């Protein structure tokens, strides 16, 4: 059975990926990936769009993510292999270039998300250390050093990376529980103003327009669950454990986000919450003046570090798969003989992250680009579920109600469109990243043809690591 496949090597001579993740590690992987940079860094930005109902965009983003998660569940239990959305697009549409674009968009979203985390880490480090670095070279250098450390942990191996994720997830979860606890204490003793949670303030925009724009920002906080399907070959019994674990993980994170945003707006007015890059630090300071703010700042740094680690873990594995299939230069599919990790792919994805940290920088722009890329991918995945209904596989698998992928495709397509109020900068960043991928793809095609090798065809079996 595919779930039990634990061979040490694939048939092309490369070492196989290790199956080290059971239900507990998978749950922490999902919770740790969804929690993190979004809620810690963008709560104030969302409040600036809608005012006191800051919790509403997070709730709407959660519902859109949940609908799409049902589509992912049907597909990952039907095809429990690595490559995720790229594999599903290939099976559904059979257009090799489209499959490549989906794969590279997912990879790019991981890198933009990690770069967002690097910038947030730098800002919080400056706050904790009392450094006046502004937005200049100091912030950039801290971000680059941070990404280097993430690359080294990634190189150590998925086992070590996931264990690090366990520690970081517990730390970031504790930070959010502190905020919720402070909000509950304020409610109990009559401090704070919980009447703000029903107040809309969208400026010159209509309420609907404001909520839509804020949801586009808040959606960055909900992404991450889709990374888990790219780890399918490193999970034990993925068909059995994915449905319960993924839905439980999303439910936990959705509840935490709503409670954190309610606590935040009750303790800090929306206009103040939207100032600066450390909104939850303001909440702790307002609700618990005696709490050591330096400790909470360190917790925030750990939280965004976890986001970066998991996203770079996913991105490097996806590039590894594309390199092994000779869709990108085959050197990207090399595996370190000792560590059994995709070292060259790790170096490539880290180099792209360095470019984003250095030349883009702004947290809202990078976070918004992450959401944009994934909303496009989610649209494709939701449609792929419907197309693949006519394809049957051996073994039982999860089946989502038909209405959910239809709603998911429409909602994701709308939130990715200019009608949702997305800044043009996000489309430019996404376009540059995809253009880099297309150039590499074209070069690989030419090299393959001149050397007499096969042209990229994105065989699903090869993408899954079971290359014939």
Q: What HEC string does 413-460 produce?
A: HHHHCHHHCCCHHHHHHHHHHHHHHHHHHHHHHHHHHHCCCCCCCCCH
| Residue 468: inside a domain | no
For residue 391, pLDDT over 50 is answered with: yes
What does the block give as tokens for 268?
Answer: 């800090």
pLDDT at 443: 85
Q: What is the rounded average pLDDT of the residues 110-139?
A: 78
| Residue 16: inside a domain | yes
Which one is predicted more confidently, 246 or 86?
246
| Residue 180: inside a domain | yes
For residue 170, pLDDT over 80 is answered with: yes
Find where tokens 């996203």 sit: 311
pLDDT at 34: 84
Whether the Cβ atoms of residue 246 and residue 225 lie closer than 8 Å to each other: yes
Which one is predicted more confidently, 271 or 406?
406
Phi, psi dihedrals of residue 305, rounded to the nearest 5°? -65, -40
Query: CB within 8 A of 69, min separation 6: which ones?
Result: 225, 246, 247, 250
> What distance in Å separates the CA atoms of residue 286 and residue 422, rounded to the nearest whole number?
32
135 pLDDT band, cuts 50/70/90, is: low
Q: Which of 106, 347, 143 is nearest to 229 (CA)?
A: 106
Domain containing residue 219: 2-463
| Residue 196: inside a domain | yes
> What distance in Å separates the CA atoms of residue 290 and residue 426, rounded to the nearest whole number?
40
| Residue 250: inside a domain | yes
Q: Average the pLDDT over each of 348-357, 368-377, 403-412, 447-456 and give the range with the smallest value.
A: 447-456
Q: What is the rounded average pLDDT of the residues 175-198?
A: 88
67 pLDDT band, cuts 50/70/90, is: very high
What does the block give as tokens for 22?
Answer: 């059971």
What does the block give as tokens for 323?
Answer: 């390199």
pLDDT winner (highest mean) among 62-76, 183-197, 336-350: 62-76
Q: Average the pLDDT over each of 84-98, 146-160, 267-281, 419-433 and give the range with the smallest value.
A: 146-160
Which one is predicted more confidently, 132 or 309?
309
Which one is predicted more confidently, 229 or 59?
59
Q: What is the rounded average pLDDT of the residues 384-407?
A: 88
Whether the Cβ atoms of residue 397 and residue 240 lie closer than 8 Å to each other: no
Tell me the torsion sign for CA atoms 164, 342, 355, 437.
Answer: negative
Runs of H (alpha helix) within 157-292: 158-189, 207-222, 238-267, 270-273, 279-287
Calculate the CA dihedral of residues 216, 102, 349, 21 and round it to 10 degrees.
90
pTM of the model: 0.83
Q: What are the Cα distances from residue 207, in Å, to 211, 236, 271, 316, 389? A: 6, 46, 17, 40, 38
Find where tokens 């992450």 sit: 370
Q: What is the rounded average pLDDT of the residues 426-455?
A: 83
Find where tokens 């699903």 sit: 460
For residue 227, pLDDT over 80 is answered with: no
Task: Indicate which CATH number applies to the domain containing 123.
Answer: 1.20.1740.10
Q: What is the rounded average pLDDT of the residues 423-446?
A: 90
What does the block give as tokens for 336?
Answer: 């370190």
236 pLDDT band, cuts 50/70/90, is: confident
| Residue 182: inside a domain | yes
**Coil vs helix vs strand at 18:** coil
- The domain total for the chain is 1
Average pLDDT, the chain: 82
148 pLDDT band, cuts 50/70/90, is: very high
């Amino acid at each position: 059975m595919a779930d039990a496949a634990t061979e040490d090597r694939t048939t092309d001579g490369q070492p196989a990926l290790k199956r080290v993740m059971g239900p507990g590690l998978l749950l922490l992987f999902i919770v740790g990936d969804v929690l993190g940079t979004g809620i810690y860094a963008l709560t104030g930005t969302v409040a600036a769009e809608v005012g006191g109902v800051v919790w509403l965009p997070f709730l709407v983003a959660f519902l859109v993510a949940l609908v799409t998660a049902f589509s992912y569940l049907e597909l990952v239990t039907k095809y429990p292999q690595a490559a995720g959305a790229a594999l599903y697009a290939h099976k559904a549409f059979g257009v090799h270039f489209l499959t490549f674009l989906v794969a590279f968009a997912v990879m790019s979203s991981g890198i933009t998300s990690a770069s967002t985390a690097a910038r947030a880490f730098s800002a919080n480090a400056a706050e904790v250390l009392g450094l006046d670095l502004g937005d200049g070279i100091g912030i950039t250098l801290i971000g680059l050093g941070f990404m280097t450390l993430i690359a080294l942990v990634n190189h150590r191996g998925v086992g070590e990376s996931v264990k690090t994720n366990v520690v970081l997830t517990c730390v970031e979860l504790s930070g959010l529980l502190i905020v919720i606890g402070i909000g509950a204490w304020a409610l109990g003793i009559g401090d704070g103003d919980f009447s703000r949670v029903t107040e809309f303030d969208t400026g010159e925009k209509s309420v609907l327009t404001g909520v839509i724009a804020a949801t586009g920002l808040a959606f960055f906080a909900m992404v991450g669950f889709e990374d888990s399907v790219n780890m399918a070959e490193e999970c034990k019994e993925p068909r059995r454990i994915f449905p319960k674990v993924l839905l439980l993980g999303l439910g936990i994170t959705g509840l935490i986000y709503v409670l954190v945003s309610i606590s935040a707006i009750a303790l800090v007015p929306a206009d103040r919450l939207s100032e600066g890059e450390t909104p939850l630090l303001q909440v702790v300071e307002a609700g618990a003046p005696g709490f050591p703010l330096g400790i909470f700042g360190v917790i925030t740094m750990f939280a965004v570090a976890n986001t970066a680690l998991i996203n770079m873990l996913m991105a490097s594995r996806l590039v590894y798969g594309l390199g092994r299939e000779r869709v990108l230069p085959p050197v990207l599919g090399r595996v370190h003989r000792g560590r059994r990790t995709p070292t060259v792919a790790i170096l490539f994805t880290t180099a792209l992250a360095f470019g984003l940290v250095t030349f883009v920088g702004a947290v809202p722009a990078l976070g918004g680009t992450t959401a944009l890329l994934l909303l496009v991918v989610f649209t494709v995945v939701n449609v792929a579920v419907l197309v693949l209904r006519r394809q049957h596989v051996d073994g039982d698998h999860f089946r989502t109600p038909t209405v959910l992928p239809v709603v998911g495709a429409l909602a994701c397509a709308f939130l990715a469109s200019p009608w949702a109020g997305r800044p043009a900068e996000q489309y430019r960043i996404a376009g540059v990243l995809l253009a880099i991928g297309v150039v590499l793809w074209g070069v690989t095609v030419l090299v393959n043809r001149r050397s007499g090798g096969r042209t990229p065809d994105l065989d699903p079996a090869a993408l899954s690591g079971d290359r014939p």
